[in-house]
Amino acid sequence: MAGYRLPSPAGVALDRGRRLDFQFNGRALSGFAGDTLASALIASGERLIGRSFKYHRPRGIVSCGAEEPTGLLDIGHCAERVPNTRVTDTPLLHGLVARTGNAWPSLRCDLGAINSLFAPVLTAGFYYKTLMWPRWQLFEPMVRRMAGLGRAGDGADPDRYDELSVATDVLVVGAGLAGLEAAVGAAEQGAQVTLIESDPWVGGWAATVAAGASGQASQLGMQLASLVDRAAKAGVITRTRTTVFGLYDHGLAVAIEPGHGVVRERTIKIRSGRTILATGAFDRPLLFPDNDRPGVMFAHSAERYAAHYGVAVGQQVVLASACDAGVELAERLRSCGVNISAVLDLRNGEHVVGVRGRTRVSGVLVASARDPKPRVVEADTLLHTGGFTPNVSLHSQAGGGLQWDPASSMFVPSRLAHGVDLVGACAGAFDLDAAREHARETGRGCRAPAPVTGTGPVPSTNAPPGALLARRSGKTFVDLQNDVCDTDIALAARENYRSVEHLKRYTTTGMATDQGKTSNVNALVTMGMLTNRSPGEVGTTKFRPPYKPVTLGAIAAGRNGERYRPLKRMPAHAFHQSRGALFEEFSGWLRPAAYPKAGESLDAAAQREAAQTRSSVGLFEGSPLGKIEIYGPDAAAFLDLMYVGTMSTLAVGSARYGLMLNENGIVIDDGIVARLGQYHFWLNTTSGGAERAALAFEEWLQCEFVDLRVIVQPVVSQWGNVTVAGPKAWQLLEAAGFDAALAPASMKHMTIREVDYAGVSMRVMRASFSGELGYEINLPALHTQALIERLWQLGGSYGLEVGMYGVEALMLMRLEKGFIHVGADTDGTTLPHDIGMARGLDRKAANFVGRRSLLRAAATDPHRMQLVGIVPTDGKSRIPVGAHIAPYAPPAPIDGFVTSSGHSPMLQHPIALAMLQHGSSRLGEKLRIHHLGTEIEAQVVKTPFFDPSGERLHG
């Protein structure tokens, strides 16, 4: 067994009395409460846990934190499965199921490993060069199947997520010694402080050392305990096991923490006046051939495993170091009980030139300047470090700058982002005393530069750039997760991809889920050496959120289904449910698409409902219809500006169809404008355009027509709408006791009356989107269901065939009449002329929004498409929406496309609307319509298809 448990007191994070059983690739294993999945796997002797992305090489665990690039497994099964999960920060749970995601048929026998044989041609950018001939589509299915490292869940995520908002004066990210000093300094000044730490414990590096048995342990332990006590007394709010993954403008930080009980994860949005980053540093790996073998690990991760989890990463460990930190680490590891069999100090001229073994380390090949012939050092684990890389991800996210410091051989913060300070190792400050003093003063509000160099208890003398690089040929990986080798970077340099952004994208270095936390610096150093530039001259890329992978469920914070986009319900929703409505989402509202009977399809139900409405009377709830009240002395003039038609000439009690354009002359909405008083107008917009229209009105009033005295008040939620349509519509209303003044003989089409019915004030409009005699009864929303129930019951009592009809039937009836549906028959290019609405332009002399744009060359182009009616020449072929009209089968230039289509219940044959070039002049012409390899012959006809004289809507 390659790894083993260390006896107490090692493993301070463990509860050895609680055994936890779990599965890895179907094998039963066990660990202790407090373990991570990584520590439990290492303790169980598991070295090979995955396969690499491109070459499918054997891979193991290399670190002990969020920087882990290769320890990725699929956690859970079926719908609960979460792919590509880092084992290093996954708490071990009883019954946990983990599987390798990038190996088939098994981890040890992976057929994808054949890719290694083609490594010479699978270089950086190979897909750009080799998969274009003869066609990319030939390779696309294979590439997509091979893409990714895991497999998503098989169904809807059953877990629950939550969100929390927090405000604080000072946010400190990282609870090491520097973070604690900053938090205490701010809190003791009276500030409200929130301290965030991703580990289950506070103390960072100091807690790791204090948990060991070295000479520093006792001193650091006392210092740490004192700071923790002062933080508690000062009221610092500490959140452990919480990771800040995004730092944004205006003091916003977003963090993720594991949930408790029924909640799996919680997203925390934190607003702070100041943010102090104390996020520490990462091991900087060395580069040498076969540095990806399972058992090759970052050196300082071994100390964390030993101190906190009681795990020795190997039984015969070799430590290779190019800096002081590695030598100090070797002694601490020995004091923890880890068998360090050899320490290779690369500064003495020794170099690792290879690693023996395939699925686990069996030896280390070492050479020197004096003896270039490699010698074998027996080992089952190789630890390596070239120093430290400050963790500046959040600093970079916030907009902070970086600069190369030659003295310490690392990128350190230069320009600070507004409201963001850095302390401790992430600021490049490694001298313990100086770093703590700087953190203390920063917490108190002083913004002084961090002491970047030092030789304190954590030596900061990093290896110079050249010492990091491989000294022998062989497969040397710079980015372990994306299988980027030093040869790929050399190829990018030869092909002149020398810009840091080009290097990143051409080679994919730093683009994996670890975001190059441990690979970026080596990539930049390598490019610099190849192009005779310093790392500072090569430059750096910008880190972007999230700092570490976050589940989509956590980002949505439980806003899935209706919580993601809550659907609005109509006032009479319960009534529609009782009538067996089939609900669908329309413009954010849950509305009845139809009321199908047992065994009846949606299409059949819509046909029946439309036919019944045309023959008798139908009830429809139109409450989602846009309703806006416009009031003020300049209301009429304002509406003239906002609509194509002239609204100021409307008499009180009259209504008029209106078309709205934007400043480019594009049709954005339509509806009815009714006048209730001299200064009072009632507007109906489309259901989907209600909010858009109200916002457009406000924008023009606030930005352009600032002198107009107008109030805009959307009232969609305050007013319900019950539409009664059909030849017997008035008979039903008369039976219900409505005033005779609403009778068709007394109330003309496109008029509005304010009436009182059963003690409720209502606004009744004679209008029709169905083409039938129609009454749109607008009433207070709370009375909507009562009215519709009363009309339904009365219809049966008086022998009227009253039927409910849904949106689908309404769409069929409006299609028969050739009425446009904005958003279906129009798009972002449609002008009024295109849909036959030029009359309003010709009659109106005054200006209106979009008028000038209608004079542009594009608007007057004679080749523009126009809306026409079409029918299949065989009288039976359904014409699909979106089908192309072209004289030849595709690929070919098109003459137009189908916008609306359906089977007419009155004409008993399919009908459709289409945008067609020169459409108005092509009546009677036969067309060829193409859809998914099928050709349909159709003829251009005049609309309306049904009741062209409009007699039915007058009653």
* Cα-based angle 150, 153, 159 (whole degrees, multiple of 5): 125
CATH assignment of the domain containing 903: 2.40.30.110
Encoded tokens for 913: 């609307």
Q: Considering only CA atoms, which of 825, 821, 916, 908 is closest in space to residue 868?
A: 916
Encoded tokens for 911: 């009908």
Q: Does residue 485 form part of some domain?
A: no
Q: Are 75 and 93 contained in the same domain?
A: yes
Please give the pLDDT value at position 471. Answer: 57
Bigger pLDDT: 452 vs 640: 640
CATH assignment of the domain containing 770: 3.30.1360.120
Q: Are 778 and 880 contained in the same domain?
A: no
pLDDT band (50, 70, 90) for residue 1: very low
Q: Does residue 133 form part of some domain?
A: no
* End position of a domain, from candidates 538, 560, 582: 560
Q: Are 204 and 67 contained in the same domain?
A: no
CATH assignment of the domain containing 379: 3.50.50.60
Please enumerate in sequence order all residues whose Cβ is within 8 A of that of 740, keeping only pairs 6 or more positions apart, or say none: 734, 746
pLDDT band (50, 70, 90) for residue 452: confident
Q: Does residue 120 form part of some domain?
A: no
Please give the pLDDT value at position 456. Answer: 38
Q: Are 251 and 397 contained in the same domain?
A: yes
Q: Are 927 and 872 contained in the same domain?
A: yes
Q: Are 899 and 755 contained in the same domain?
A: no
Question: Which residue segment(s) compose the domain that 455 sits in?
Answer: 159-283+388-462+546-560
249-308 pLDDT, tens per residue? 999 999 999 987 788 999 999 999 999 999 999 999 999 999 999 999 999 999 999 999
Please give the pLDDT value at position 79. Answer: 87
CATH assignment of the domain containing 96: 3.10.20.440
Q: Are 727 and 585 contained in the same domain?
A: yes
Among 192-206, 249-263, 459-473, the range with the most confident prediction by mean pLDDT is 192-206
656-686 pLDDT, tens per residue? 999 999 999 999 999 999 999 999 999 999 9
pLDDT band (50, 70, 90) for residue 48: very high
Please give the pLDDT value at position 811. Answer: 98
Is pLDDT at 216 greater than 70 in this prediction?
Answer: no
Q: Say what percent of the chain tops pLDDT 70.
A: 97
Task: Kindly report which listed range (365-374, 455-464, 555-564, 884-893) carries the lowest average pLDDT score.
Answer: 455-464
Mean pLDDT of the chain: 92
Contacts 24+ apart (CB under 8 A), 579-585: 579/804, 581/804, 581/806, 582/806, 584/807
Residue 141 near residue 245, CB atoms below 8 Å: no
Q: Count structural domains, the chain.
A: 6
CATH assignment of the domain containing 680: 3.30.70.1400
Q: What is the DSSP string of 66-85?
A: TT-SS-EEEES-GGG-EEEE
pLDDT band (50, 70, 90) for residue 557: confident
80-132 pLDDT, tens per residue? 889 989 999 999 999 999 999 888 899 999 888 888 877 787 888 887 777 77
Residues 140, 742: Cα–Cα separation, whole Å:
65
* End position of a domain, from candidates 813, 842, 873: 813
Q: Are 726 and 613 contained in the same domain?
A: yes
Q: Does residue 552 form part of some domain?
A: yes
Identify the bridge partners of residue 440 per DSSP, sorted by sequence position: none
Q: Residues 543-567: what's their mean pLDDT?
A: 87
Q: Are 639 and 676 contained in the same domain?
A: yes
Q: Considering only CA atoms, which of 606, 570, 581 is closest in space to residue 785?
A: 570
Q: Residues 386-396: what's their mean pLDDT?
A: 94
Q: Does residue 529 form part of some domain?
A: no
Q: Does residue 136 form part of some domain?
A: no
Please give the pLDDT value at position 457. Answer: 39
Q: Does residue 394 form part of some domain?
A: yes
Q: Does residue 491 form part of some domain?
A: no
Is pLDDT at 467 greater than 60 in this prediction?
Answer: no
* End position of a domain, from candidates 365, 385, 405: 385
Q: Are 756 and 808 contained in the same domain?
A: yes
Q: Are 620 and 635 contained in the same domain?
A: no
Q: Are 290 and 377 contained in the same domain?
A: yes
pLDDT band (50, 70, 90) for residue 3: low
Residues 519, 477: Cα–Cα separation, whole Å:
9
576-615 pLDDT, tens per residue? 999 999 999 999 999 999 999 999 999 999 999 999 999 9
734-764 pLDDT, tens per residue? 999 999 999 999 999 999 999 999 999 999 9
Please give the pLDDT value at position 122. Answer: 80
Please give the pLDDT value at position 460. Answer: 43
